[in-house]
Amino acid sequence: MLKYTFRRVLGTIPTLIIVVTFVFFFVRLIPGDPARLVAGEQATQEDVDAVRVQLGLDEPVTVQYIRYVTGLLKGDLGNSLRTKRPVAVEIKSRYLNTLSLTVMSLVWSTIAGVFFGVWSGKNRGKWQDYTGMTIAVSGISLPAFWVGFLLIMLFSVKLRWFPTTGAGSIKNLVLPSITLGISIAAVIARFTRSSIIEVLKEDYIRTARAKGLGEKRVTWSHAFRNSMISVVTVVGLQFGYLLGGSVVTEAVFAYPGIGSLLIESVNYRDYPAIQSLILIFSLQFILINLVVDILYAVLNPEIKLG
């Protein structure tokens, strides 16, 4: 296991090099002059040029790239052009908020998705199946920003049950987590349903029923347990999506996470912050994929990690 993990970690290095290089040069294609934004709209051209020199933006792009990579190797993400603070500090102050929102969204969406998936799968072709899948398709189809505004109008403006913006309490997480997790729950439900349907066709399921086991025990102890690999795969991948895909939800609820930080950084042409955030998003997906692969072996000892 340790040998496999070490080999996989080494295998991520080329991917990270590609991501770092691509993002570094891509963000410089974003229209707008960071030096002008830092200097201010009323600044003269001389002031803008001075700021450009101060930020090192007057140097050739290759020199800037080498300086950036050298800083990364030392653990230095650079300073934000917008706040002048270290990017690592900016991200640290918001990452926990996004992680809290992501975990809460994943917990409820996994529970709901698995329930509706199993419910639909074991009642294939019946009204339960149609109801569950109708809900799932609706969840995938609804735009996150529309769901967010709808929840704000109903539960914040009209009923006044939850705050519309901010972070710091469970109440602040309820509406954003529902908005963020509704499509994830739908995806998990569809994957779980498909997996349950396939497992219920297996011979050992017929054997379990022939032995007189109850339908609940057959479904949850045998069918669901053996469909867990597919479910773990989709849950793991959706966790990575939630961490990196909370941009719209955080914008709608003015939630102070790394998604909203990315929007602010793009609007300000904050190169160091944009580069660091996308690098973190990439690292998250890589680590989550590694964890999912290891869980394969834990759930099914027949799977060998080569």
106-142: pLDDT as tens digits = 888 888 888 888 888 878 878 888 887 887 777 777 7
Among residues 176, 149, 172, the alpha carbon closest in space to that of 246 is found at 176
126, 193 in Cβ contact below 8 A? no
Domain limit, last residue, from 73, 106, 136: 73
Kindly state whether residues 92 and 198 are assigned to the same domain. Answer: yes
269, 32 in Cβ contact below 8 A? yes
Kindly state whether residues 180 and 54 are assigned to the same domain. Answer: no
Residue 203 placed within a domain: yes
The CATH number linked to 151 is 1.10.3720.10
- Report which of residues 152 and 290 the model is more confident about: 152
Residue 79 placed within a domain: no
Count other Cβ atoms within 10 Å, centred on residue 238: 25
Specify the pLDDT at position 278: 86
Among residues 273, 305, 297, 279, the alpha carbon closest in space to that of 12 is found at 279
Residue with tokens 């992680």: 99
- CA distances 299 to 4, 111, 229, 232, 303, Å, are 17, 19, 7, 9, 9
| Percent of the chain predicted with pLDDT > 70 | 91
Kindly state whether residues 284 and 166 are assigned to the same domain. Answer: yes
Residue 306 placed within a domain: no
Specify the pLDDT at position 6: 76
Residue 304 placed within a domain: no
206, 199 in Cβ contact below 8 A? no
Is the pLDDT confidence value at 289 over 80? no
Specify the pLDDT at position 170: 85
Is the pLDDT confidence value at 283 over 80? yes
Specify the pLDDT at position 181: 85
Kindly state whether residues 257 and 192 are assigned to the same domain. Answer: yes
Per DSSP, helices labelled H in 152-169 are none
Mean pLDDT, the chain, rounded, equals 80
Spatial CB neighbours of 181, under 8 Å, sequence gap ≥ 6: 104, 105, 106, 108, 109, 242
Residue 78 placed within a domain: no
175, 151 in Cβ contact below 8 A? yes
Banded model confidence at residue 39, pLDDT cuts 50, 70, 90: confident
Structure tokens at 33: 């002059």
Kindly state whether residues 53 and 92 are assigned to the same domain. Answer: no
The set of long-range contacts for 143-147, using a CB threshold of 8 Å and a minimum separation of 24, is 144/179, 144/180, 144/182, 144/183, 144/248, 144/249, 144/252, 145/248, 145/251, 145/252, 147/178, 147/179, 147/182
51-105: pLDDT as tens digits = 788 778 788 888 888 888 888 888 888 888 888 888 888 888 888 888 888 888 8
Q: What is the mean pLDDT of residues 168-196?
A: 85
Kindly state whether residues 11 and 47 are assigned to the same domain. Answer: yes
Kindly state whether residues 135 and 171 are assigned to the same domain. Answer: yes
Kindly state whether residues 233 and 175 are assigned to the same domain. Answer: yes
Structure tokens at 114: 């698995």
Kindly state whether residues 126 and 274 are assigned to the same domain. Answer: yes
Domain limit, last residue, from 73, 97, 112: 73
Kindly state whether residues 6 and 96 are assigned to the same domain. Answer: no
**What is the rounded distance in angstroms from the CA atom of residue 185 to the CA atom of residue 117?**
9
**Total residues belonging to the chain:** 306
Kindly state whether residues 20 and 161 are assigned to the same domain. Answer: no
Among residues 69, 65, 68, the alpha carbon closest in space to that of 79 is found at 68
**What is the rounded distance in angstroms from the CA atom of residue 206 to the CA atom of residue 180?**
39
Spatial CB neighbours of 278, under 8 Å, sequence gap ≥ 6: 19, 23, 262
Domain limit, last residue, from 32, 51, 73: 73
> Lowest-pLDDT range, 121-130, 228-237, 279-288, 291-300?
291-300
Residue 121 placed within a domain: yes
Longest dimension (CA), the chain: 86
Residue 80 placed within a domain: no
Q: Give the range of the structural domain holding residue 14, as residue numbers without chain letter.
A: 2-73
Specify the pLDDT at position 157: 86
Residue 160 placed within a domain: yes
| Percent of the chain predicted with pLDDT > 90 | 0
**What is the rounded distance in angstroms from the CA atom of residue 188 to the CA atom of residue 290?**
20
Number of domains observed in the structure of the chain: 2
Banded model confidence at residue 33, pLDDT cuts 50, 70, 90: confident
**What is the rounded distance in angstroms from the CA atom of residue 116 to the CA atom of residue 134?**
11
184-215: pLDDT as tens digits = 888 888 888 888 887 777 777 777 777 776 76
Kindly state whether residues 132 and 276 are assigned to the same domain. Answer: yes
Specify the pLDDT at position 246: 77
> Lowest-pLDDT range, 3-17, 25-39, 212-226, 272-286?
212-226
